[in-house]
């Protein structure tokens, strides 16, 4: 490739507007790649934490002991946070002694739902930025291309005889904007689809756990106020959890 048609030379010789477009696309690309690597770590950690918690939950141990362990560590996320919120609210309402069973379960489910919404919001954070970069970058690049081609042909207005060598640099610098737009958009779109799917799968796992945990709470709530000590009520979780976990 001749030196006057090298990519660097074309960018340096491009019009100010095309250079601004290229700078915006470069910033959008760097931002999207930073989000891609960050979301990769966040979603992988969320899956690993869910796997570890489910293994502990369905091991047949005492749920009150599991709750105390999560509470002592502090800052629980994911499925452990949903369990912590639900167990805490169930214990608080059960200690009042006169709360009907349906209100016990409804209170626990609301608390778990709040924890789930917070977790999904954390996992979906910055996905909208990827979607924005993926959707508008091609149009921004196309705008730079159209402007560059217009400038290239406008420069021929005072030329009596136009040749391909005269318009080639201008058209080439204009097409670089389109290439830059696609370079920024394609990884962002692929990453958005991938991580949106992973967040959706995690949300399904959280919903399934909420239903399973609600069933366990319903069985213990049906034992009546004479079992107000939640730790004792949950100690019987062992056999049922082991059987359910083995069937999963």
Question: What is the rounded average pLDDT for all residues in the chain?
Answer: 83
What is the C-alpha to C-alpha distance for residues 120 and 134, in angstroms, rounded to an integer? 22
- Residue 232 confidence (pLDDT): 45
DSSP run (H or E) holding 163: none
**Cα angle 149-151-153, degrees, rounded to a multiple of 5:** 70
Residue ranges of domains in the chain? 3-243
**Cα angle 103-107-110, degrees, rounded to a multiple of 5:** 135
pTM of the predicted model as reported, rounded to 2 decimal places: 0.79
**Cα angle 112-214-61, degrees, rounded to a multiple of 5:** 95
pLDDT in tens, 77-97: 899 999 999 999 998 888 887
- Rounded to the nearest 10°, the torsion over CA 219, 225, 231, 234 is -10
Q: Mean pLDDT for each 10-residue chunk of the chain (248 residues)? A: 60 80 93 96 94 90 87 86 92 82 89 94 94 94 86 69 65 85 95 96 95 89 54 47 46
Residue 143: how many other CB atoms lie within 10 Å: 16
- Residue 239 confidence (pLDDT): 41
In the chain, the largest separation of any two C-alpha atoms, in whole Å, equals 101
What is the C-alpha to C-alpha distance for residues 41 and 123, in angstroms, rounded to an integer? 11
The count of residues in the chain is: 248
Q: What are phi and psi of 157, to 5 degrees?
A: -65, -35
DSSP designation for 5: G
- Residue 234 confidence (pLDDT): 54
């Amino acid at each position: 490739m001749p030196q006057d048609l090298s990519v660097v030379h074309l960018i340096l010789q491009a019009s100010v507007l095309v250079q601004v477009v290229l700078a915006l696309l470069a910033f959008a690309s760097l931002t999207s790649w930073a989000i891609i690597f960050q979301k990769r770590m966040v979603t992988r950690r969320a899956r690993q934490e869910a796997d570890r918690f489910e293994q502990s939950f369905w091991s047949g141990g005492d749920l009150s002991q599991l709750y105390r362990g999560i509470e002592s560590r502090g800052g629980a996320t994911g499925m452990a946070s949903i369990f912590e919120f639900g167990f805490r609210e169930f214990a608080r309402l059960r200690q009042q002694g006169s709360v009907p069973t349906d209100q016990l379960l409804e209170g626990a489910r609301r608390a778990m739902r709040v924890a789930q919404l917070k977790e999904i919001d954390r996992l979906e954070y910055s996905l909208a930025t990827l979607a924005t970069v993926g959707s508008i970058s091609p149009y921004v690049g196309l705008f730079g291309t159209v402007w560059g081609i217009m400038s290239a042909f406008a420069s021929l207005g005072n030329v009596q005889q136009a040749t391909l060598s005269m318009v080639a640099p201008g058209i080439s610098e204009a097409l670089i904007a389109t290439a830059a737009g696609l370079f920024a958009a394609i990884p962002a779109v692929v990453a958005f689809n991938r991580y949106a799917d992973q967040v959706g799968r995690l949300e399904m796992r959280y919903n399934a756990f909420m239903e399973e945990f609600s069933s366990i709470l319903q069985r213990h709530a049906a034992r009546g106020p004479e079992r107000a000590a939640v730790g004792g009520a949950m100690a019987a979780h062992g056999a049922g959890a082991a059987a359910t976990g083995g069937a999963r």
